[in-house]
Amino acid sequence: MLYPLLLKTFRDHVRGIAGWVSGIVALIAVQLAVYPTVRDTTSRVTDFADSFPEAFKKIFRMEEYGTAVGYLSTELFSATLPLIFIAVGVTWGARVATDEVEAGTADILFSLPISRRRFLVTRIAAEVGVLVLLGAVLWLALVIGAPIVDMSVSVGRVAAASASTVLTGLVFGSVGVLVGAWSGRRSMGLGISLTIAIAAFVVYSLAPLVQFMDDINPFNPMQWTVGAESMKRGFDLGYSLIAVAFASVLMTAAVAVFERRDVL
């Protein structure tokens, strides 16, 4: 990697990173602040959750909502946090190969003795680093905040759920990296990767209700990450390896495409 370029990338986006960190911490704080009310009215909350149509409960995975694990799974790890990490992943991914081109600095950068491969690998490393940083913030916020509101959760399960959430952003971010490297347009990378992410989320959500979607769900990236339900079941090594392999293949392809494309 080109460490000066890595540091420059982080420095150029420090305000955005700080914003995402603040947003995640604020979201965790709000959800934890609500939990004592849910815990103290478990029977009523359970009755309220049971009053929803069965289809609705299946879509939002509302099992055991009154428990700490069920509450965190439903409120944070089933949709909200994965969608946030997808937004971060695809936003950064779409910019990996296009920032310098759209800024008009690509000709200066590539006139230096820097290979395109090292350039793109460094930019990909920056994206992965940001996702890992946000995952660590997520884990730390829950580990510190849970005892404050007397929430009993396993540190290991929180780590597993945080890792799965990071992988969600990484998988769909890799789509943005590949499309951006191929097209040279950030808007195309962002649009296609978001479209795929939304389609994958819809299929995952409706899989319990639609047989066809349930049949194809094992091939759905959302199933490899969010569908592992790591908050409830712990870290799923098999699904995680599939997600990492998928992202690695797409990013490797992005490097190969970027090396051969005329970016000037």
How does pLDDT run across 17-56, given as a tens digit for each residue? 999 999 999 999 999 999 988 877 765 656 656 666 565 5
Domain that holds residue 181: 3-260
Query: CB count, 10 Å around CB of 226?
Result: 29
Does 93 have pLDDT greater than 80? Answer: yes
pLDDT reported for residue 53? 56
The pair phi, psi for residue 128, each rounded to 5°, is -60, -40
pLDDT reported for residue 52? 60
- For the stretch 115-143, pLDDT in tens is 888 889 999 999 999 999 999 999 999 99
Q: Which of 89, 78, 88 is nearest to 222 (CA)?
A: 78
How many Å apart are CA 17 and CA 220, to the nearest integer?
A: 28
This prediction has a pTM of 0.89
Q: Which residues of 186-220 are buried (b: 16+ CB within 10 A; e: fewer)?
A: bebbbebbbebbeebbebbbbbeeeeebeeebeeb
**141-157: average pLDDT:** 94
Domains held by the chain: number: 1
- 84: helix, coil or strand? helix
How many Å apart are CA 169 and CA 188, to the nearest integer?
A: 18
